[in-house]
């Protein structure tokens, strides 16, 4: 079973700061998911990436398959970015999740 580690567990930052969340995993994979869980509890997919970098608005995700590491960056952070960010890796029977990073952006 793949072990998925996220850091930091908690992150509080000021509006406008550049945010980085890290995810590492133990077994080689073909792709990785980043998910966002809103304060109300709902979970949405942000990215699935298998190499290089993907960008969606102010969110950028990168992955290094050889180093078994991915990062999620948020540029010009805003209070509405406050959420739990979860990385997940695919396996034979479904996803294995990191424990999440609880991000709070203060105005």
- Residue 19: CB minimum distance to another protein, A: 20
**Separation of alpha carbons 90 and 107, rounded Å:** 36
- Among 20-28, 39-47, 51-59, 75-83, the segment contacting another protein (CB under 8 A): 39-47
**Separation of alpha carbons 52 and 99, rounded Å:** 24
User: Which one among 59, 83, 100, 103 touches another protein, defined by CB under 8 A?
Assistant: 100
**Separation of alpha carbons 7 and 31, rounded Å:** 19
Residue carrying the six token digits 């996803």? 95
Residue carrying the six token digits 């034979």? 92
User: Which one among 19, 23, 98, 103 touches another protein, defined by CB under 8 A?
Assistant: 98
Interface residues with another protein (CB under 8 A) are 1, 30-31, 33, 35, 41-45, 48, 86, 88, 90-100
């Amino acid at each position: 079973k793949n072990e998925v580690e996220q850091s930091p567990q908690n992150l509080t930052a000021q509006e406008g700061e550049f945010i980085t969340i890290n995810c590492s995993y133990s077994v080689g994979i073909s792709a990785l998911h980043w998910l966002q869980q809103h304060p109300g509890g709902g979970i949405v997919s942000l990215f699935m990436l298998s190499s290089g970098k993907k960008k969606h608005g102010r969110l950028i995700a990168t992955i290094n398959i050889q180093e078994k590491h991915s990062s999620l960056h948020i540029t010009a952070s805003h209070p509405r970015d406050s959420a739990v960010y979860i990385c997940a890796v695919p396996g034979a029977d479904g996803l294995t999740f990191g424990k999440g990073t609880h991000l709070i952006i203060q105005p």
